[in-house]
Structure 1
């Protein structure tokens, strides 16, 4: 997008913190693509140093009486994170802001005979923010978050799983909420896979019908680490497919700034961004947390470089051990 258009969007979004930050991120991305790295770094530091305005907690949508029929399969989750706890690409930030605006103007959109996006598919490797994003998305919208308990939903008794899924969708049709299916591939596995018996094929057939027919009061969100295992017919049932990738160097730097923002350090954590290439957000979070805990255990007021280096070493040992186990299996 041309610089002039971005500047107009920036000024137009003044006073709306989320939109202002999203446009600022786009401007910084443009400067980085042009190799204006000094300017981009300066803009980034200025943006990160600006005090974040704490948004008022949003009141949850009224809860309908918890249905006994679905109670065994869903769990209400109280949010423990806010938008200050997540790092998203500028593209995903733009998508989620658009979804929130659309949700808030849903009645007006529907009155004009247009559909409202409400069925989302999150794809990407483990540890890249899918579950955390669902929690924060629900919190920002003022909607309760319900997580589907797949271990109970998938019944060992033939014929019951599709019935259980129907109960879940009936609940989502009535209750304004974010209904979150993690490990969605366990339900929506490709029907042509060898070894899949007729019961699982029937479950996928039922699932396709339920997703097609439902118009959620809030959002239906499905997440998978195994997008290639999903049945081909599943994809077109979702209004949006959002990809969560492992962070590049720029996003790693942003995450490290966030993690150490209020921590006294004796080194520059950002200088280690290149060493964390290929790590997920969850892995970088584990490294950072372990380094901070090391200082607390040693009764020091600052985190040292040696703490961080040791935490990276421990994470590498963990990753390499997992690789050996996978190869031997």
Structure 2
């Protein structure tokens, strides 16, 4: 945003403390990006030494007005689950705890002229927790989550697609939030593919520039099931790449314990671990719920081994059929 526009917003927000502070932070960030660090430090000191402000609610960052054009391309999602609803590898737990701590110390890091990681790429097979993790990550940060509507972004008039993407990144630059691009490969597909339209190449070029230049107030998170289809130049634009693999047996064990913690069982589901190798979390969730529903339909208070084995067989049938479709 032009400096003149920021100054107008600053004066217009007089008397509205939270909005005034948000705009002042934008001005300070602009000066830091221009390497005017002495001025930026002076402005931040003046801002911090001003009258004390009531603490913000921990659960949610304040929303500031954003261009109505961006509203056409995003949908706000309210988190409905908590950290007990996800099983992550130790490596990913370490990565996300590091990102949380870095975000919480962001002001101190930026004062020393260092960047804060804010652009993340999630990679892995379908159903392995990428979208759920984005939801819980936003909740832990106390930031609103916005999902990008790709069907709206990709215009039938190809020249408009890059313009639509620009509006999204302008939104991420001004709004403290987690902006989530699912199926990111639809936008960032490799430019060298045979038969690709020149206009689509220009879209990828624009996307690279936008990702490079944006300094989000929160996080930009992109997720893909097809990381091999991404343009090679995309990877270095992200501060962190997080891999979501299919769960191994210890993680499946933890998932089954979590899923059946409030359910009466007549058997030990862990005796069936070998039959669950290679299943994604979404598939495990589906078969567990099916076993529970079977017991409810039969008006029984507990889930039997027969219910569970039948649910595995149904999931195996579905998995076999869909794997054929994936190879077409």
Bin of the TM-score, shorter chain as denominator length: 0.7 to 0.9
Distance across 1 between alignment mates of 2:275 and 2:236: 39
Distance apart, 1:80 and its partner CA: 0.9
Q: Residue 325 of structure 2 corresponds to which residue in structure 1?
A: 325
Distance across 1 between alignment mates of 2:246 and 2:211: 29
Taking only aligned residues, the RMSD between alpha carbons, in angstroms, comes to 1.1
Distance across 1 between alignment mates of 2:324 and 2:168: 39
Distance across 2 between alignment mates of 1:272 and 1:85: 22
Tell me whether 1:96 sits opposite 2:96 in the alignment: yes
Q: Is the 8 A contact 1:246 1:280 kept in 2?
A: yes
1:70 match: secondary structure? helix
Q: Is the 8 A contact 1:161 1:203 kept in 2?
A: yes
Q: Residue 176 of structure 2 corresponds to which residue in structure 1?
A: 176
Q: Is the 8 A contact 2:185 2:230 kept in 1?
A: yes
Distance apart, 1:326 and its partner CA: 4.1
Q: Residue 83 of structure 1 corresponds to which residue in structure 2?
A: 83
Distance across 2 between alignment mates of 1:326 and 1:140: 35
Distance 1:324 1:161, change over 3 A: same
Distance apart, 1:228 and its partner CA: 0.6
Q: Is the 8 A contact 1:58 1:139 kept in 2?
A: no
Q: Residue 24 of structure 2 corresponds to which residue in structure 1?
A: none
Tell me whether 1:188 sits opposite 2:188 in the alignment: yes
Distance 1:261 1:267, change over 3 A: same
Q: Is the 8 A contact 1:182 1:223 kept in 2?
A: yes
Distance across 2 between alignment mates of 1:158 and 1:129: 32
Tell me whether 1:310 sits opposite 2:305 in the alignment: no
Distance 1:318 1:173, change over 3 A: same
Q: Residue 111 of structure 2 corresponds to which residue in structure 1?
A: 111
Distance across 2 between alignment mates of 1:85 and 1:126: 17
Q: Residue 290 of structure 1 corresponds to which residue in structure 2?
A: 290
TM-score (normalizing by structure 1): 0.81
Distance 1:67 1:99, change over 3 A: same
Distance across 2 between alignment mates of 1:58 and 1:107: 17
Distance apart, 1:282 and its partner CA: 0.5
**1:239-272 Cα shifts (integer Å, max 9, x gaps):** 0000000001111111111101111100111222
Tell me whether 1:259 sits opposite 2:259 in the alignment: yes
**1:37-72 Cα shifts (integer Å, max 9, x gaps):** xxxxxxxxxxxxxxxxxxxx9421001124311011
Q: Residue 46 of structure 1 corresponds to which residue in structure 2?
A: none
Q: 5+ unaligned residues in a row in structure 1: which ranges?
A: 1-56
Q: Is the 8 A contact 1:125 1:244 kept in 2?
A: yes
The count of aligned residue pairs is 272
Distance across 2 between alignment mates of 1:324 and 1:220: 34
Name which one, 1 or 2, has greater alpha-carbon Rg: 2
4+ runs deviating over 2 angstroms: 323-327
For residues 271-286 of structure 1, the aligned pairs below 5 Å read: 271-286=271-286
Q: Is the 8 A contact 1:76 1:145 kept in 2?
A: yes
For residues 198-277 of structure 1, the aligned pairs below 5 Å read: 198-277=198-277
1:216 match: secondary structure? coil
Q: Is the 8 A contact 2:158 2:200 kept in 1?
A: no
Q: Residue 72 of structure 1 corresponds to which residue in structure 2?
A: 72
Q: Residue 16 of structure 1 corresponds to which residue in structure 2?
A: none
Distance 1:66 1:293, change over 3 A: farther
Q: Is the 8 A contact 1:58 1:140 kept in 2?
A: no
Distance across 2 between alignment mates of 1:325 and 1:167: 36
Q: Is the 8 A contact 1:119 1:219 kept in 2?
A: yes
Q: Is the 8 A contact 1:189 1:229 kept in 2?
A: yes
Distance apart, 1:158 and its partner CA: 2.5
Distance apart, 1:122 and its partner CA: 0.2
Distance across 1 between alignment mates of 2:326 and 2:229: 19
Distance 1:212 1:325, change over 3 A: closer
